Structure 1
Amino acid sequence: MFSEGQIYFAIAFFVVFVIITVMMYRRDKKLHKKNYKGVPWILVGFLAFFLLLIALKFGLKG
């Protein structure tokens, strides 16, 4: 299906991609903490709203 060279290229590409992604994340970590400090509360609010909708759906059904 794939030649040996294509498999080697895919493995090398994946390894280099992961390494570069981790390096960029570590470099931007301080900036992300500064700019996105309220994001967990948005997630909590969204999940609470979603659970409320599910509770209303099953609560009004019966």
Structure 2
Amino acid sequence: MFSQGQKIFALIFIVSFLVILTFQFLKDRKRNKTLFKGTYWVLIAIMALMLGYLLLTKLIH
């Protein structure tokens, strides 16, 4: 369904997106702590959804 290059691109994109998202979150959290209470749950949920989607697509195909 996907070529090897597309799979590699998707993997690199997802990993880099998560690294940048986490870095920006930690940087912004230092500036304003009151706005970021409990946001770890959102970050964990996003990561879990991405991981779940990846595992689900692996199991289906």
Larger Rg over CA atoms: 1
CA distance in 2, matches of 1:18, 1:10: 12
Show the counterpart of 1:10. Answer: 10
TM-score by length of 2: 0.52
Q: What RMSD, in angstroms, separates the aligned Cα atoms of the two structures?
A: 2.2
Q: What is the distance in 1 between the residues matched to 2:32 and 2:4?
A: 40
Task: Identify unmatched segments of 5+ residues in structure 2.
Answer: 39-61
Structure 1, unpaired ranges of 5+: 41-62
Q: AA paired with 2:33?
A: K
Q: Which has the higher contact order (CA 8 A, sep 6+)?
A: 2
Counterpart of 1:22? 22
Q: State the TM-score, normalized to the length of structure 1.
A: 0.52
1:31 Cα deviation from its structure 2 partner: 2.8
2: CA distance, partners of 1:18 / 1:6: 18
Q: Which amino acid is 1:9 matched to?
A: F
